[in-house]
Amino acid sequence: ADKIFVSISLTFMLNISPITLGAALVARAPYRLVPSEMQELSNQLKELADRGFIRPKIDLRSGYHQLRVRNEDIPKTAFRTRYGHYEFQVMPFGLTNAHVVFMDLMNRVCKPYLDKFMIVFIDDILIYSRNKEKHANHLRIILKLLRKEKLYAKLSKCDLWISVVQFLGHIIDNQGLHVDPAKIEAIKNWTSPTTPTEICQFLGLTGYYRRFIKDFSKIAKSLTELT
């Protein structure tokens, strides 16, 4: 399992804020699961344990799973299942600062090439070039960099040698930046919001494309005032 860890000196730390006097500790019983879900949970726990991502708490021997959790913080990641107590050895998903830490890692690793021929957002990497020859060289540089830092990509989720790419909700080609048609369909089919929260969610989605909409703030003003 050690082969998956990055070689740079960066570990994931967990800081727990003091609870208010009299407040209950965060502790929840496992969710009730149907037999098929129980089997899936068992399979996932076995896979994570086999790959070294988690370990049983009682075992004293032994695009986020790329970073080790700092040793003194490992007990803070403990979770309970009907199959036992486990602790994460690597950074788990869902923690408040997980994406920030991983973004910091990617920025450190890719710093020499950022905005020269690559863009990074968390675990999404975009490599752009003016011609095929330069692209081959750029691609080779980044793949060697990822190998050096022991960051591994899943081939099935990679799109190589393409002239049109979907990236962060946009379509990018040699003509520039375009709105993703799938997102437009989602907006068109959005259920009419009935609460301030739902209005904010709708405005958040539509506002992501405000650069393509002239006078967006004026158009959205009546909805914004309802929040």
pLDDT digit string (tens) for 102-139? 888 888 888 999 888 888 887 788 888 888 888 899 98
**174 pLDDT more than 60:** yes
Tell which residue, 186, 188, 168, 187, has the closest CA to residue 178: 168
Please give the structure tokens belonging to residue 124.
Answer: 């999404």
3-class DSSP state of 37: helix
Q: Which pLDDT does position 72 carry in this prediction?
A: 85
Q: Stretch 185-206: mean pLDDT, rounded?
A: 90
Residues 142/134, Cβ–Cβ less than 8 Å:
no
Q: What percent of the chain has pLDDT over 70?
A: 71
The predicted pLDDT at position 2 comes to 42
Q: Which residue has the higher pLDDT, 58 or 140?
A: 140
Q: Provide the whole-model pTM.
A: 0.60
| Residue 56 scores a pLDDT above 60 | no
Show the tokens assigned to 163. 């002239």
Separation CA 55–CA 59 (nearest Å): 7
Question: Confidence class of residue 141 from pLDDT cuts 50, 70 and 90?
Answer: very high
* pLDDT tops 80 at residue 199: yes
54's torsion region: left (phi>0), alpha (psi -120 to 50) or beta? beta
Q: Are 81 and 41 in contact (CB under 8 A)?
A: yes
Q: Which helix (H) or strand (E) holds 118?
A: strand 118-121
The identity of residue 130, as a single letter, is R
Q: β-strands 165-167, 124-127: how paired?
A: unpaired
Q: Closest Cα to residue 142, out of 165, 105, 114, 163? A: 114
| Phi, then psi, of 180 in degrees rounded to 5 | -75, 120
Q: For the chain, where are the E strands, in sequence order?
A: 54-56, 79-81, 84-88, 118-121, 124-127, 165-167, 170-173, 176-179
Range scoring the smallest mean pLDDT among 12-26, 127-141, 155-169, 210-224: 12-26
The pLDDT of 33-50, averaged and rounded, is: 61
